[in-house]
């Protein structure tokens, strides 16, 4: 019986290396597909939140700017940069 030859060891290591590479590529592809699905779900949720919050935000900012509060501070006699025209 002959000892393990150099070619047999190199061939076995090469096949093992190729197997690890193929397995790694399969895992990467599976992970990327999962991440893509997760991002799609998050995008839909963010859009739904935006559609829900947009009317409230417009109402809030509309009320805030209706009285034009950024005009003048009577205690310090300082005018805002908007009124100075900067």
Q: Show the domain range for 12.
A: 8-66
Report if pTM > 0.75: no
Residue 49 lies in a domain: yes
Residue 75 lies in a domain: no
**What distance in Å separates the CA atoms of residue 40 and residue 32, rounded to the nearest whole number?**
12
Residue 38 lies in a domain: yes
**What distance in Å separates the CA atoms of residue 35 and residue 41, rounded to the nearest whole number?**
10
Residue 37 lies in a domain: yes
Which has the minimum average pLDDT: 39-43, 46-50, 56-60, 64-68?
64-68
What DSSP element (H or E) covers 50? helix 6-66
Residue 23 lies in a domain: yes
User: What is the total residue count of the chain?
Assistant: 86
Q: How many domains would you assign to the chain? A: 1
Residue 25 lies in a domain: yes
Residue 39 lies in a domain: yes
23 pLDDT exceeds 70? yes
pLDDT in tens, 56-80: 887 777 654 445 555 555 566 565 5
Which has the minimum average pLDDT: 36-50, 52-66, 72-86?
72-86
């Amino acid at each position: 019986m002959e000892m393990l030859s150099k070619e047999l060891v190199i061939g076995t290591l090469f096949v093992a290396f190729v197997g690890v590479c193929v397995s790694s590529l399969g895992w990467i592809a599976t992970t990327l597909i999962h991440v893509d699905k997760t991002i799609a779900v998050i995008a839909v949720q963010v859009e739904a939140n935006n559609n829900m919050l947009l009317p409230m935000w417009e109402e809030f900012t509309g009320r805030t700017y209706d009285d034009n509060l950024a005009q003048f501070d009577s205690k310090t006699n300082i005018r805002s940069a908007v009124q100075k025209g900067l």
